Structure 1
Amino acid sequence: MSKHRKCLLVHQAKAENKTGLQTSTMLSWKLPRLLTIQQVPKVFHEDSILCGYRSPCSSATACILSLFQMTNETLNIWTHFIPALYFLWKMLSFLHSGFWDDPFLWPLLVFQLSCCIYPLASTCAHTFSVMSTKARHICFFLDYGAVSLYSLGAAIAYSAYVFPDRWVGGTFHRWYVPCAVMNTIICTALACYSRLGAPVLHYNQLVIERIPEVTRPRLSKMLRTTAFAYPYLFDSIPLFYRLFLCSGSGCALNAALPRHIWHSLLAFLTAFLFTTHLPERLAPGCFDFVASPLRSQSPAVPCVWCYGHLHPDGSSDTGHESTKGVAYGKG
């Protein structure tokens, strides 16, 4: 064989190797195959969701790529991420409008910060929860903590803007935020217990026993629902009083009350969907790709709607005079 012929063969082999490497790289970036409920461990099962599951040992890259693939979590992730971007934009708008000059608006900043943290944490939790069983637990522990932190932010805002005048300075008003802090800690722990149990009793480094979520699913569901519902009900005591019981001076009607009514109705709708697993329970397999956002994202709808009716200075866009108390429920 001539030297020229050998040279051509060497170059051809190098070109084939390079093409093979490029092809293999392109194949490695393909979207991962989706699995059915029978193909994933029980720890990853969702009630009445039969298909669209991601691999339970996905890499971080695969988790990110799955954002652009229609899985049973895709809509759930994006319906958390988009509101998070919206809340970040609103908070930055407030900060660039002389927000710091008025201490009356500082509690609103705390609430807006919690509105940003909660959906961002949920986005990360649902995105990376399929890397492993342990990663799934850790992701949702952070998610539960973010939900509780959101309830604390709401309590701080309610303490500043929603309390009736006759309650301001009273015993309940003085202890309201400290109690909300305790609720945040206790309810986060309760939600984590509902998934994994007490770490001292139910955990070791080799086997993660899902107690009581697998062995006692109804108890787990009840504990987790309580961990989410109780802070909301506690935070809403002054709001419900103003909506349904308050009368006389200090309880004047204002533009914020109808929004709070809609917010409360949608919150109870969220609780109903979360506890009943409707509509997917009525037709398992038919709502695999939309059930999660229906159950988890209802709270963001009233939040976005309410913020859409407020200007950065805290005033309402309804044409009333721009009193910050009117915008946020302070009569």
Structure 2
Amino acid sequence: MLSLKLPKLFNIDQVPPVFHERGIICGYRHPQSSAIACVLSLFQMTNETLNIWTHLLPSWYFMWRFMATLYMVDFWNDSYSWPLLIYLSTSFIYPFASSCAHTFSSMSKNARHICYFLDYGAVNLFSLGSAIAYSAYTFPDMLVRTTFHHYFVSLAVLNTILSIGLSCYSRFLELQKPKLCKTLRILAFAYPYAWDTVPIIYRLFLSSEESSGEAANPYHQKHTVIAILACFLYAAHLPERLAPGRFDYIGHSHQLFHVCVILATHLQMEAIFLDMTLRKEWLLATSIPPSFSQTAGAVCLCIIFSIINIIYFSISLYQTPEPESQKKET
């Protein structure tokens, strides 16, 4: 009978500091794992296993939603649906990229950084996809065709480019300045989301008018609350910070963060579908028609600058000398 030998796991004091996770003591994979060993770890309980599966499975669900919508909607001849296409495509790319990053991040120190560079690029691409969908379908009636609406996507592109640069740069500060690293990374993800959410906050709390998209408001409310909870979990490292070693495999903050992010995306998707459907007649008569430059053009520009950022920071990894403390660890 054939037997499958799973990779050996290590404690925190057996792996280099760059692999350490706050409050996580056991379940680390070999810091120089092969690609095959990384794939095998999907079927072994490590401190990354649920991080992988909580994004891998939803990525296939979101891809199914994308394919089903692609079959039902005439994207080629209906420019009104272009923003939806952009949003749905980014919605399955970011969890898939995240699951790949967590899977292969133990191949080496530099591979770990590069994996997360790509992860950050996908997350920021999703942020831009959300901004494009919000601009097309969810803007409150009072803000449609305003200067803010006109420049909303353009500034979202700028936010995305700056965010990926800041988040990638933060990885160079992990060991020497961990607090600054965490602050910069949270800021890099929080401010594009805050910008994207401005029209939603205005619509939910500052607009007193009724509109045809009011049925989507409960979904927007739930999405906003869960997204804030996800941000808190990412920043606070709870519950593992209070009981190190107790949540190494199940229940630590990054797993809970992943679950909240996926649930928030699902609620956001439902809200966008409702807004797109219920407000279509009014938006086609009143709003600015989606253009190629504000949909596919914006995404292509973001992808180009994201690739440039990732290549630049990846090359910098190999040109930056290791601190003496790291050399001793190895």
TM-score range, shorter chain: 0.7 to 0.9
> How far apart, CA to CA, are the structure 2 residues paired with 1:96 and 1:136?
37
User: Matches of residues 218-233 of structure 1 in structure 2 within 5 Å?
Assistant: 218-233=179-194
> How far apart, CA to CA, are the structure 2 residues paired with 1:194 and 1:94?
37
> How far apart, CA to CA, are the structure 1 residues paired with 2:236 and 2:138?
31
> How far apart, CA to CA, are the structure 2 residues paired with 1:97 and 1:36?
50
1:79 and 2:34 aligned: no
What residue in structure 2 maps to residue 18 of structure 1?
none
Matched residue SS, 2:27: strand
Which among 266, 282, 288 is matched to residue 304 of structure 1? 266
> How far apart, CA to CA, are the structure 2 residues paired with 1:163 and 1:307?
15
Decide whether aligned partners of structure 1 residues 179 and 44 sit closer, same or farther in structure 2, where only a CA change above 3 A counts.
same
Which among 29, 34, 38 is matched to residue 13 of structure 2? 38
> How far apart, CA to CA, are the structure 1 residues paired with 2:89 and 2:239?
32
> How far apart, CA to CA, are the structure 2 residues paired with 1:296 and 1:254?
28
Alignment check: 8 A CA contact 2:12 2:25 kept: yes
Q: Which runs of 4+ in 1 moved over 2 A?
A: 302-310, 322-326
User: Matches of residues 83-232 of structure 1 in structure 2 within 5 Å?
Assistant: 83-100=58-75, 101-196=77-172, 212-232=173-193
Question: Is there any run of 5+ residues in structure 2 with no aligned partner, and where?
Answer: 288-330
Matched residue SS, 1:255: helix
Alpha-carbon offset, residue 98 of structure 1: 2.8
Matched residue SS, 1:299: helix
User: Could you say which structure has the higher helix fraction?
Assistant: 2
Alignment check: 8 A CA contact 1:213 1:220 kept: yes
> CA offsets, 1:234-271, max 9 Å, x none?
0110110000001236x566211001100000001011
Higher deviation after alignment, 68-77 or 161-170: 161-170
> How far apart, CA to CA, are the structure 2 residues paired with 1:89 and 1:233?
28
> How far apart, CA to CA, are the structure 1 residues paired with 2:98 and 2:85?
20
Alignment check: 8 A CA contact 1:277 1:295 kept: no
1:285 and 2:245 aligned: yes
CA RMSD of aligned residues (A): 2.4
Alignment check: 8 A CA contact 2:216 2:271 kept: no
Higher deviation after alignment, 161-170 or 261-270: 161-170
1:274 and 2:274 aligned: no
Alpha-carbon offset, residue 302 of structure 1: 2.6
What residue in structure 1 maps to residue 291 of structure 2?
none
Decide whether aligned partners of structure 1 residues 146 and 41 sit closer, same or farther in structure 2, where only a CA change above 3 A counts.
same
Alpha-carbon offset, residue 99 of structure 1: 3.5
Decide whether aligned partners of structure 1 residues 239 and 308 sit closer, same or farther in structure 2, where only a CA change above 3 A counts.
closer
> How far apart, CA to CA, are the structure 2 residues paired with 1:325 and 1:286?
50
Higher deviation after alignment, 72-81 or 288-297: 288-297
Which among 176, 179, 195 is matched to residue 234 of structure 1? 195
Alignment check: 8 A CA contact 2:219 2:270 kept: no
> How far apart, CA to CA, are the structure 1 residues paired with 2:71 and 2:118?
30
Matched residue SS, 2:256: helix
How many positions carry a matched residue from both structures?
A: 281
> CA offsets, 1:146-178, max 9 Å, x none?
111110000000100111222222211111111
> How far apart, CA to CA, are the structure 1 residues paired with 2:21 and 2:147?
44
Amino acid at match of 1:136: R
Which among 60, 71, 75 is matched to residue 35 of structure 2? 60
Rg larger in 1 or in 2? 1
User: Matches of residues 310-325 of structure 1 in structure 2 within 5 Å?
Assistant: 314=273, 323-325=278-280
Alignment check: 8 A CA contact 1:76 1:297 kept: no
- Percent identical across equivalent pairs? 51
Alpha-carbon offset, residue 315 of structure 1: 5.0
Alpha-carbon offset, residue 289 of structure 1: 1.2
TM-score, length-scaled by structure 2: 0.80
Alignment check: 8 A CA contact 2:217 2:271 kept: no
> How far apart, CA to CA, are the structure 1 residues paired with 2:240 and 2:280?
42
